[in-house]
Amino acid sequence: MSFENFPLSKGDGRFLETRAKTHTLPQTLLLEGGEETVRRTLAKQMAAAIVCRDKTNAPCGVCLACKKCASGNHPDISVFAPEKKNAQFKVEVCRQIRQDAFVVPNDGDCKVYILEDSQNMNDSSENALLKILEEPPRGVYFILTCDSRASMLSTVLSRATTVSLTGDCTPFSEETVQTATALAEALCKDSEWELLCACAALKKEREEIRSVLLCLCDILTEALCVKSGGTGGEAAKALAGKRTKEKLYAAQKETEALLQSAARNANTNLLLTGVCYRLRQAMEHK
């Protein structure tokens, strides 16, 4: 699946491509920014990737599930939107989605709920979804689209992986890149000492910790792309050569969890401790 026709940053494009092909997309995905029709098109393509029967190149476009998606008739993909343009997203709809999420799929192992124009949810609607977004049932995925992440509650943002369709790439300072690269290089080592030293360079400013984690996520995504035959930087190539896909996925998952902790204003000292501990745990993943 190519994302060249979508206004994505290179990091977001690689992330979606890698996760789509290997069926490891996050269960809650927020597509923000860009044109409304582009957001909807990407949401439907991501839904197709989730239900696709091809295990290594989703969405393949040729399996029965993909054909049903193309015709808009897949029974396990549900699309919800406000009844009228700029109208509020009714809380009753969110409660209906929350209840239906526990019903087993009709045609496979996964169900996908696309919530278009989710910026039109009021606080009650968003709060009705919070619990199910935080702990979705196995095989249940949520794809939300909105004009801007700024219009969403921070509690929803902390539970979703956000992809921007503005084409902007988060600018990292040279110091941030150096710290994230040092963490990536430490993950290549079998000793815990290198990781401890790399974590010691992290500053206690929460925003800087978040920037380093975002940069590390990009490096891990590149490493997974290299594993799948793609390209990446030197740090990504080193990780891909040293660690298995399973360990890289585990490290990415732990990094995303740390980012969510940062978004929820977790204690800074505990957050710094968690960086070292959780990344080391990922390298011990089997």
Note whether residue 35 is domain-resident. yes
Q: In which domain, by residue range, is 247 found?
A: 174-283
pLDDT at 139 (0 to 100): 95
Residues 160 and 227 in one domain: no
Task: Let me know whether 157 and 20 are in one domain.
Answer: yes
Token pair of 186, please? 């430490």
The reply to whether 221 and 95 lie within a common domain is no
> CATH no. for residue 94?
3.40.50.300
The residue among 119, 139, 164 that closes a domain is 164
Q: How confident is the model at residue 266, as a pLDDT?
A: 65
What gap in Å lies between CA 203 and CA 208, rounded to an integer?
Answer: 7
Phi/psi class of residue 2: alpha, beta or left (left: φ > 0; alpha: ψ in -120 to 50)?
beta
Domain count, the chain: 2
Query: Does 109 lie in the same domain as 72?
Result: yes
195-198-204-207 Cα dihedral, nearest 10 degrees: -100
For residue 74, the surrounding DSSP H or E stretch is none
Instruction: Specify the pLDDT at position 270.
Output: 83
- Show which of 100, 132, 164 is a domain's final residue: 164
If asked whether residues 95 and 181 sit together in one domain, one would say no
**Which pTM was predicted?**
0.65
With a pLDDT cut of 90, the percent of the chain lying above it is 39
What is the per-residue pLDDT across 211-241, written as a single tens digit (0 to 9) for each?
888 888 878 878 887 877 666 789 999 999 9
Degrees (nearest 5) of the Cα angle 238, 193, 258?
Answer: 70
Residues 34, 60 share a domain: yes
223 shares its domain with 192: yes
**202 and 140 belong to one structural domain:** no
Classify residue 2: in a domain, yes or no.
no
Instruction: Judge whether 58 lies within some domain.
Output: yes
